[in-house]
Amino acid sequence: MTITLTQNDYGKSRVRLLRVSRQEGRHDIHELTLQILFEGDFETAHTKGDNSKILPTDTMKNTVYALARQYPSEALENFCSHLIEHFLTYNPQISRVRIEAQESLWNRIVLGGKPHPSAFQHGSQEKRTAALNGAREGTTIRSGIADLIVLKTTKSAFEGFLKDPYTTLKEDRDRILSTSIHADWLYESGDVEFSTLWHGIRQTLLETFAEHDSQSLQHTLYAMGEAVLQNFQHAREIRLSLPNKHFNRVDLSPFGMDNPAEVFLPTDEPHGLIEAALRRD
């Protein structure tokens, strides 16, 4: 009987880092969490216990901190690209480096009507994300957003859907629509201003969600992806995952009251999940 090692990778997960950029009269911060995975010539570590080609995962962690000191504070995608270049340059046994990174977003505390230069608050659970896949022939870069919670109270309907004997959902011409935006997009090349594009795409997603006359969450998802691809030529494709966060109108009739769409019960589970990918040909 022959047993073959068909796939393997290893790396370091949950590497956390806070970068502080100090200028006169102003500080900027970036809180990152990274996962780094190596693919390459590591079979003998599994089959023979030979660690001669294994770079310790603790070294990966240390490299993150060392390169953070060597390079100025920069876009998430640029920093991950430096890490990939470093690992591939000094480790010929590595064929591919995959990095998934998240940046937790901080807002400045407002003091006296002005943003404070060095004090911050954690605004929400929203995160900026990046996923880089680097081999010796090139690197693909995806940027994204996670946990960006949005809600609108009008311009949303859900009617004309399929019904069977177990369908109890009522049609609704004017409902609350809420979701937590998870999106990532693939760049045509790595030679772009990542932060400028990220903020522009984020704003386009928000504006489209707010203004779209939605007939379903699927309808709005497509409109959001379409707007990004039409307005940002550097984005070749976009993937969106949108949970449908339900807000059910409370029946106040037992109390002799009406409810003209003013009182709702938020429900987290179960929820619908709408996902799709769009590509510009």
Q: Which one from 33, 44, 53, 57 is the annotated catalytic residue?
A: 57
CA-CA distance, 77 to 84, in Å (whole number)?
11
Q: Which DSSP category does 170 fall into?
A: P
Cα dist from 44 to 47, 61, 207, whole Å: 5, 23, 53
Q: Which one from 12, 30, 61, 212 is the annotated catalytic residue?
A: 12
CA-CA distance, 205 to 225, in Å (whole number)?
8
Answer for the pair 69, 20: CB distance below 8 angstroms, yes or no. no
Q: For residue 48, report the phi and psi dihedrals to the nearest 5 degrees.
A: -125, -5
Question: What is the three-class DSSP state of 105?
Answer: strand
30 is catalytic: no
246 is catalytic: yes
CA-CA distance, 181 to 151, in Å (whole number)?
11
Q: How many CB atoms lie within 10 A of CB 64?
A: 21
Cis peptide before 270 (omega within 30 of 0): yes
Q: Which one from 127, 182, 245, 246 is the annotated catalytic residue?
A: 246
The percent of the chain in helix, strand and coil, each rounded to the nearest 5, is 25, 45, 30
Catalytic residue positions, numbered: 12, 57, 246
